[in-house]
Amino acid sequence: MSTEHKIKIYPVDNADTTLIKLDDLTTVVIDCQIREGDKNSNGIAIYDVKKDLLKEIQKDSKNNPFVDLFVLSHPHKDHCLGFEQNFYCGSPDDYSKSNREKNEIIIGEIWVTQMVFSNDVCDEVEAIHREVKRRKKIFEDNPAESNKQGNRLRIIGYNDQDITVEGLHYVPGNLVTKINGKSKDLLSIFIHAPFKSDLITGKAEKDHNPTSIVLQAIFRTEKNGEIKAKAIFGGDADHYVWDKILEKSENNRNEDKLEWDLFLAPHHCSWTFFNDTPYDKNKEPKDYSLKFLDYKRDDADVVASSIKIIDDDSNPPHFPAKEQYEKKVGKANFRNTGINKSETAPEPLVYTIDSNGIKLDKKIVAASASILTSQTPRAGYL
């Protein structure tokens, strides 16, 4: 059988939840927004993310559901709502029948930034804060135990002393090829951000968006084979961050790490990718933001994880930002989760990656058209 990977971007209003599932069943979840209820305040059906995740992920030898890696791009509510209710927190040895009955998902490995330890995080981050603190203590007290599924932790970027600890940190410029203790021949993840300067400024100004984890996921379908797809995810990183990513990547001859077939529009298609706000005073997109988009590969897609984008003053999602993306990739290659397949009951965007490259699920392509009429890191850089 041919190798096939999957990227699934869920419709979660102005928020992010993305699932990456490899052919070998390895699963990566980037951010989470798992809500209860049937409809949101606008009467739009709430997609059952938890139910779908349970269909996609594996179970361990004890029949406990788990994801190999959970990445929290930054500690904001719209990126971690529902974490405490749906993911297991605590020692994997203590996972009980009660946890299993509630289908709490064990996380093999967690990636966060130092900002999780801030005192000003929202209530929804508290559970992640406690769980990361537990895992960090295990790393410090019992390194062997910290390499056990359910205890693994990586802090992306630098710590509060602006340094790194071997075996605990990944920094910009690192290429990661091991997930949840296992080497991956068909997926590698390049760390672009956060930069040390942004972590310092973000802590001082209590602004978490510029401290978002920015990464490029690189997919192959054969060991040592050619790259079949590249996807970039950047949380809520603003245009200042993307300017530094562009500059440092080009200076370090990492232009290939800027390329993308799939780009998740930062901050739910906010204007902040292109310039400062308010928009009426900063209507011209920055040259470097436009240049970054020029690293798109053939037939690339931009995805706005947001409610339906309409021509009003909302930000996010922002209509002029949508127009800028469409200028780069074309209207047919700009996707909006809030209207995918149905405006009243949107469904996930599902991309598959095989030997022919990346493509959007054919049924969803048709529906969207109708709506539209390393474990061994390279030397890091700051």
pLDDT, tens digit, for every residue of 217-255?
999 999 999 999 999 999 999 999 999 999 999 999 999
Note the CATH architecture for domain 5-372. Answer: 4-Layer Sandwich (3.60)
Distance CA 18, CA 260 (A): 16
| Helix H or strand E encompassing 85 | helix 83-86
Integer Rg of the chain from CA? 20
Q: How far is CA 36 from the centre of its chain?
A: 22
Reading across the β-sheet that carries 187-193, which strands appear in turn?
175-176, 187-193, 214-220, 227-233, 260-264, 296-304, 334-336
Give tens-digit pLDDT for 13-68: 999 999 999 999 999 999 999 999 999 999 999 999 999 999 999 999 999 999 99
261 pLDDT above the threshold of 70: yes
Distance CA 284, CA 218 (A): 32
pLDDT at residue 198, rounded to an integer: 86
For 53, 129, 134, 140, 142, the CA distances from 117, given in Å and listed in that order, are 27, 6, 12, 16, 21
Sign of CA dihedral 198, 199, 200, 202: positive
For 186, 216, 218, 229, 262, the CA distances from 226, given in Å and listed in that order, are 10, 16, 10, 9, 17
Mean pLDDT for 353-360 is 97
Show me where the domains of the chain are located. 5-372
Is the pTM of the predicted complex or chain greater than 0.75?
A: yes
Quick check: helix, strand or coil at residue 173? coil
Phi first, then psi, for residue 259 (nearest 5°) are -75, 150
Distance CA 97, CA 244 (A): 48
